[in-house]
Chain A
Amino acid sequence: MLANTLKDKHSCFHCGEPCITDVVVNEKHFCCTGCSQVFLLLNENNLCTYYDLDKTPGLTAKGKFVSERFAYLDDVSVIDKLVSFRSDEQVNILFRLPQMHCASCIYLLENLHKINEAVIKSQVHFEKKELFVSYNPSGNSLRKLVELLAFIGYEPAISLEDDAAITKNKFNKGRVIELGVAGFCFSNIMMLSFPEYFSGGDIEPGLKQTFTWVIFALSLPVIFFSARSIFISAWKGLRQGIVNIDAPIALASIITFGRSYYEIISGTGAGYLDSGAGIIFFMLIGRWFQSKTYDALSFDRQYKSYFPLGVTVLKNSKEENIPVTKLKVGDTIVVRNEEMIPADAVLLEGKANIDYSFVTGEHKPVEKKLNDVLFAGGKQMGGRIQLLVQKEPSQSYITQLWNNDIFTSETNSLKHSKESFIHPWSRYFTIVLFSIAAITGIYWSINTPEKTWYAVTAVLIVACPCSLLLSSTFSFGSMQRIFGKNKLYLKNASVIESLAAIKQIVFDKTGTLTQRLAFKPGFVGTPLNAEEEMQVYGATTHSSHILSKAISNSLLVNEKAATSYFKEFSGLGIDAVVNNTDIKIGSSVFLGQSESNENTMATSRVHVQINNQYKGYYEIPGNYRKGLHAMAHQLCHNGYGLHLLSGDNNAEEANMRSIFGKEATILFNQSPEQKLNYIKNCKESSGKVLMIGDGLNDAGALMQANCGIAVSDDAGRFSPACDAIIDGSMIPELPKLLAYAKWGKKIVLAGFILSILYNFVGLSFAVQGKLSPLVAAILMPLSSISIVSLAGLLSGIVARRIGLSTKTDESHVFI
């Protein structure tokens, strides 16, 4: 029924959403005046190619636009902090635009100069979702530029924190160069070694000398430039008394290169420089492969990223915009409709109706009286209010959560490394290796003492633990990519091991099991005209019921509706008089219609009656995600313990119980601290915990859990600090994703076994003192390559068997 009504309507030319309120401009249909205005702006500037590149590429214009929001961008200290270069003729600035999603976006953003003449150049970096703009400050201000971007739908994510992105980038460049140098030197050393191997010793002495010395020279950059990160990490570990994974590799490299240099300088042999360079090259490839980062996502958000950056302060009865960092105790601030309260404050003037959904998860505005304390993080719904600041933003109630020591970076970085199962393995490996080397040494020192040193070093060279390490880096690296293709973006590869060890799964309700971007209500019945829509708006706007909110938000009414009488009947509906017209909105029982079983989890119906005449009903699609039943059942079947922590009240308890079954723990009215403590206790009593949530109220729980996954319906949007970010649509696939993580261990083990087989072959040569450079040169790259391909192959096969996609979803490229 709903589908039929929507089919009749046009979809917006700009953003593609169904046009509830049809705005027609130039014979094109728009869902709201906002969208049509963006279209007119683009049309005026000949930028309509925007609509040719991709179908309905636009972002829904929000309709209402509060320009004071960006007033803080006029502050010179703010400008200085944001721009990368500033002179009288030119200002350069880099914006993050998480909304960027298609080729049309690139086209529009790179043609900003056609809309605003002061823009000199604008360039997009799509994968990082960044826009570089240089503009002429005499014809434009930063504020105007940001307002323009916000108007066309790309509001920049502005942070006054120092950005770590630039340093990260430089670091990656250094890695690529190290890898390039190692690859260059390795391949040339290999090539120059061939003549000696294949001539069988029958080679001109002068030529042999030259080859050897060229190899010698080529090996220097490998050990001193490319391999330095391995040595630095091993050294740092040793200084703290830890033998980390790099230590045996560093030792093996030192022995390989040391012995080779000794042989070359003393003229006794050609050494093993080709294998040595090979080890380092493959190690670096492994690391580069695993270092896949999702530039567009941020895993380490602080509460500051959520808070408003600018605030309006009342000084000597004059409004002034200052950056929030300059806010002091005792300042009087002005907060308007839909604005967030930046610091704990007392209400001085105005009618406060505060929505704390951001903090608690509960979507119900709370009315506050004069002199009540309002906490930071709440959003004002309604008119303008004046507040007296009680605490600085950094000392506020909500930010106290971050003072918990789980947020200190040290504990956080240790969170995964301790749990890895590779580290104990490498320790056993090292012990076994040294015992073999010692036995070989003792044996040869008794029989042929001059061969001792040769055999011992050969053992250490050939049995390099790097193939063990390669197995895990490549397996986890390619698994991380496959997870990414299935829209679960991991912070790093070690999260896979945490996911595999999970026993308990804790869900948040709002935003996690429900969709934030619910569909718009559709009207079924006699179509309402503009006047009637305004009356409905006038009635619903006064109610804080979630269905009333959904209806009033979908109606874009510019004129004021005069509501002279309003009464809400709990659980039934609203009776109101708007513009002298009697209006009744609510359930069928409330309106005296025949009762039908109409409110299911899938849809809710809200009936409308104007002047005692029945008009029809709004059908509001339920905002629960699809496939939750199956997911919970499957997880339960797989032996996971399920928990639900919601900041909301228990109105939805029956629904939740039907999804999660009898055994699950379901708790309502949970504060952020309660959530955090629940996870803490759960970890102690029932094993490793996975937390899935969104929003600031889950931030503590996400950090406290062994693994925290933040849910986002739009991967570019804000999400709290976490270990992984999942696209909301993939929540039902959770059982598959967890099963895949469990397979990770087996894939790595397969690689381990293969590398141990190679080691047997190599060691059998080495202990006999027969390891020739040729055997080492064949065996070592061969083992590395076969382990790498095995890891890649297995992770792909397993993903397909489980039913995960191994191809990138082209229609929605995040990365």
Chain B
Amino acid sequence: MSALFILIGISMVLAGSFLIAFIWSVIKGQYDDDYTPSVRMLFDDKKESSTTKTN
């Protein structure tokens, strides 16, 4: 049963680090905007040089 003591310790540390990661991401503003990044990633940068003066 004493293994449980170690396991509890490990689980608390693990879960705690996830909590810290969550708090860090909130403070850094990762949840501020949940729409724009999903659109931004779709923009194609490659077109830049190839489409010059085709229009």
Binding site for B on A (CB under 8 A): 26, 43, 46, 48-49, 103, 106-107, 110, 124-128, 169, 173, 176-177, 180-181, 184, 188, 192, 204, 207, 210-211, 214, 813
- A173 vs B25: C-alpha distance when bound (angstroms): 10
Q: For A813, list chain B residues within 8 Å (CB).
A: 35
Q: Please, which residues of chain A bring their CB within 8 A of the CB of B51?
A: 46, 48
Contact check, B26 vs A177: say whether CB atoms are below 8 A apart. Answer: yes
Do A107 and B43 have beta carbons less than 8 Å apart? yes
- State the CA gap A173–B29 with chains docked (Å): 8
- B23 engages A180 (CB within 8 Å): yes
Nearest 6 A/B pairs, CB to CB: A126-B36, A184-B19, A103-B39, A126-B35, A125-B33, A176-B26
Once A107-B43, A184-B15 are accepted as A-B contacts, the answer to whether A26 and B23 lie under 8 Å apart by CB is no
Closest-by-CB residue of B relative to A203 is B1
- Alpha-carbon gap, A204 to B3, bound state (A): 13
Out of B22, B29, B35, name the residue touching A180 (CB < 8 Å).
B22
- Give bound CA distance, A180 to B26, whole Å: 10
A211→B4 CA distance, assembly (Å): 10
- A320 nearest CB across to chain B (Å): 40
- From A43, A106, A177, contact of B39 by CB (8 A): A106
A813 (CB) vs chain B CBs: closest residue:
B35
Residue on A with the closest CB to B22? Answer: A180
Of the residues A49, A126, A210, contact of B33 by C-beta under 8 Å? A126
B29 to chain A, nearest CB (A): 8
Known: A43-B55, A214-B12. A110 touches B40 (CB 8 A): yes
Q: Could you mark each residue 1-39 of chain B with 1 if its beta carbon is under 8 Å from any beta carbon of chain A, else 0?
A: 100110010001001001100110011010111111001
Contacts of B33 in A (CB 8 A): 125-128
- Asked if B26 and A173 sit within 8 Å, CB to CB, the answer is yes
A26 contacts which of B8, B39, B43, B55 (Cβ < 8 Å)?
Answer: B55
Known contacts A127-B35, A210-B5; is A180 also within 8 Å of B48 by CB?
no
Could you list 5 examples of A-B contacts with CB < 8 Å? Answer: A43-B55, A103-B39, A128-B33, A207-B4, A214-B12
Q: A204 and B1: CB pair below 8 A?
A: yes
Which residues of the partner chain B approach A127 to less than 8 Å between Cβ atoms? 33-36
Contacts of A26 in B (CB 8 A): 55
Given contacts A43-B55, A180-B22, A210-B8, contact A49 B36 (CB under 8 A): no
* Residues in chain B near residue A125, CB distance under 8 A: 32-33, 36
**Considering the chains assembled together, what is the distance between the CA atoms of A43 and B54 in angstroms?**
9
Contacts of A207 on B, CB cut-off 8 Å? 1, 4-5
> How far, in angstroms, from A228 to B52 measured CA to CA in the complex?
60
The interface on chain B, measured as residues whose beta carbon lies within 8 A of the other chain's beta carbons, has a size of 29
Residue in B8, B35, B36 whose CB lies within 8 Å of A214 = B8
Main DSSP-derived SS at the A contact region: helix
CB neighbours of B1 from chain A (8 A): 204, 207
What CA separation (Å) do A255 and B4 show in the bound complex?
A: 32
Q: A128-B33, A177-B27, A180-B26 are in contact. List 12 more A-B contacts (CB 8 A).
A: A46-B48, A46-B52, A107-B43, A124-B36, A125-B32, A126-B36, A169-B32, A176-B31, A180-B22, A184-B18, A207-B4, A211-B8
Contacts of B29 in A (CB 8 A): 173
In angstroms, how far is the closest chain B Cβ from the Cβ of A289?
A: 15
Residues from chain B with Cβ under 8 Å of A210 in the complex:
5, 8
Q: Given A126-B36, A177-B26, answer yes or no on A49-B47 (Cβ-Cβ < 8 Å).
A: yes
Bound CA–CA A758/B47 (angstroms): 63
List the B residue with the shortest CB-CB distance to A184: B19
The answer for the CA separation of A192 and B12 in the assembled complex, in Å, is 11
- For B40, list chain A residues within 8 Å (CB): 106, 110, 124
Q: Report yes or no: B15 in contact with A188, Cβ–Cβ below 8 A.
A: yes
Q: Is the Cβ of A173 less than 8 Å from the Cβ of B19?
A: no
Most buried by B among A46, A184, A192, A214: A46
CA of A26 to CA of B36, assembled, Å: 32
Shortest C-beta distance, B24 to chain A (Å), equals 10
CA distance A188 to B15 in the complex (A): 9
Shortest CB-to-CB span from A576 to chain B, Å, is: 43
The distance from the CB of A226 to the nearest CB of chain B, in whole angstroms, is 12
Question: What chain A residues lie within 8 Å of B15 (beta carbons)?
Answer: 184, 188
Are A181 and B55 in touch, CB under 8 angstroms? no
CB-CB under 8 A from A177, the residues of chain B are: 23, 26-27
Q: Which residues of chain A are near B42, meaning CB under 8 Å?
A: 103
Give the CA-CA distance A181 to B55 in the complex, in Å.
55
- How distant is the Cα of A124 from the Cα of B15 in the complex, in angstroms? 34
- C-alpha spacing A503/B55, complex, angstroms: 60
A221's closest neighbor in chain B, by CB?
B19
Q: Which A residues touch B55, using CB under 8 A? A: 26, 43, 48
Complex: A124 Cα to B32 Cα, angstroms: 12
Complex Cα gap A214–B13 (Å) = 12
Chain B, Cβ-Cβ closest to A187: B15
Enumerate chain B residues within 8 angstroms of A192, measured Cβ to Cβ.
8
Q: How far is the CA of A440 from the CA of B26 in the complex (A)?
A: 46
Instruction: Please report the C-alpha to C-alpha distance between residue A210 and residue B7 in the assembled complex, in whole angstroms.
Output: 12
Distance between Cα atoms of A156 and B10 in the complex (Å): 52
Say how far B26's CB is from chain A's closest CB, in angstroms: 5
- Shortest beta-carbon distance from B21 to chain A in Å: 10
Q: Which residue of B lies closest to A195 (CB)?
A: B4
Closest residue on chain A to residue B5 by CB atoms: A210
Please indicate the chain A residues that have their CB under 8 angstroms from the CB of B36 in the complex.
106, 124-127
Give A438 to B42 CA distance when docked, in angstroms. Answer: 65
The interface residues of chain B lying within 8 Å CB-to-CB of A107 are 43
Query: B8 to nearest A CB, angstroms?
Result: 7
> Is A188 within 8 A of B12, CB to CB?
yes
- The chain A residue with its CB closest to the CB of B34 is A127
Residues of A within 8 A of B31 (CB): 176
Of all chain B residues, the one with the shortest Cβ separation from A175 is: B26
Min C-beta distance of A215 to chain B, whole Å: 11
**In the complex, how many angstroms separate the beta carbon of A184 from the nearest chain B beta carbon?**
5
Bound CA–CA A49/B35 (angstroms): 20
Q: From A42, which residue of chain B is reached at the shortest CB distance?
A: B55
Quote the shortest CB–CB distance from B18 to chain A (angstroms). 8
Bound CA span A184–B52, Å? 54
Chain B residues near A181 (CB, 8 Å)? 19, 23
Contact between chains at A173 and B27 (CB < 8 Å): yes
Shortest Cβ distance from residue B41 to the other chain A in the assembled complex, whole angstroms: 11
Q: Which residues of A contact B39 (CB under 8 A)?
A: 103, 106, 126
Q: Which residue of B lies closest to A49 (CB)?
A: B47
Nearest-neighbor residue (CB-CB) of B35 within chain A: A126
Chain B: minimal CB distance from A803 (Å): 28
Q: What is the CA–CA distance of A126 and B42 in the complex, to the nearest angstrom?
A: 15
Closest to A179 in B: B26
Asked if A180 contacts B52 (CB within 8 A), the reply is no
| Alpha-carbon distance between A20 and B8 when the two chains are bound, in angstroms | 74
Closest to B48 in A: A46
Closest B residue to A176 by beta carbon equals B26
Bound CA–CA A192/B47 (angstroms):
56
Instruction: Tell me which residues across on chain A come within 8 A of B27, comparing CB atoms.
Output: 173, 177
**Most-contacted residue by chain A among B8, B26, B36, B42 (CB, 10 A):** B36
Q: How far is the CB of A620 from chain B (nearest CB, A)?
A: 35
- Inter-chain CA distance A177–B21, complex, in Å, is 11
Q: Measured between alpha carbons, how far is A43 from B52 in the docked complex, in Å?
A: 9
Q: Which of A43, A126, A169, A180 contacts B19 (CB 8 A)?
A: A180
